[in-house]
Amino acid sequence: MRQASVERNTKETQISAEIALDGSGTYDVSTGIGFLDHMLEQLSRHSLMDLKVRAQGDLHIDFHHTTEDTGYVVGEALSKALGDRAGIVRYGSALIPMDETLTRVALDSSNRPYLVWKVDFSRPKLGEMDTELFQEWFKAFAQSAGLTLHVETLYGENNHHIVESCFKGLARALKEAIAIDPRKADAVPSTKGVLGGSL
């Protein structure tokens, strides 16, 4: 199985993640932020990646450091598990409806990190979590996972639905992109022979 584990320890957070790309969507997540746990569980369940995350952070200040650093760690674990990315389909996309909300996610597992985030919220908080932190999570995740990632909510009103559709869209697009292409299982999907840098 393609799997990896990563630890990140700073004065602000202590985070570990274990990931298995060819899993069954089994998760064991504890970050101290209930809504973030729920979203990471959705990421695991709908990508079929097994995911274990443990995070302790300075939640007495706010949720920013824990949210962002969790994105970095889970993304780094994904990148490490992908290795040289040989054999993967590379591209993935998903169009996710959730009641009144519709979100589109497209990604390239290119090892060229970039995030386009076109998601608007009508409120500054979702429960106790600042809605602006979801962009920080996706930015950190794309950076450390080496993904060109485009996330766009086409329309929606309920903030919970908007966020959840983003994570489910990421999960489904990842499931497609990291799958092994049986016709090219030994080849890096690039004319360069390596992913990263220029096209």
Q: What is the CATH number of the domain that holds 109?
A: 3.30.230.40
CA 180 to chain centre: 19
Give dist(CA 56, CA 75) in Å, integer.
Answer: 17
Establish if 197 belongs to a structural domain. no
Whether 97 is covered by a domain: the verdict is: yes
pLDDT at 198: 45
Sheet containing 114-118: which strands, arranged edge to edge? 91-98, 101-108, 148-155, 114-118
38 domain-assigned: yes
Residue 131 lies in a domain: yes
Q: What is the pLDDT of residue 28?
A: 98
Listed as ranges, residues in the chain with pLDDT below 50 are 198-199
| pTM of the predicted structure, to 2 decimals | 0.93
Instruction: Please tell me the predicted confidence (pLDDT) of residue 186.
Output: 73
Note down the domain range covering 93.
Answer: 3-184
Residue 189 within a domain? no
The whole-number pLDDT of residue 72 equals 98
Q: What stretches of the chain show up as alpha helix (H) in DSSP?
A: 34-47, 64-82, 133-145, 159-177
- Residue 21, pLDDT score: 98
Whether 193 is covered by a domain: the verdict is no
Residue 176: phi and psi, rounded to 5, are -70, -45
Give the pLDDT of residue 199. Answer: 44
Could you report the per-residue pLDDT of 34-47, keeping only the tens digit for each? 999 999 999 999 99
The number of domains in the chain is: 1
Q: Quick check: 97 and 165 in contact, CB under 8 A? A: yes
Any domain includes 196 = no
Residues 187, 87: contact at Cβ < 8 Å?
yes
| CB-count burial class (<10 Å; 0-12, 13-18, 19+) for 60 | exposed
**Strands of the 27-30 sheet, one edge to the other:** 3-9, 13-20, 50-57, 27-30
Phi, then psi, of 103 in degrees rounded to 5: -125, 140
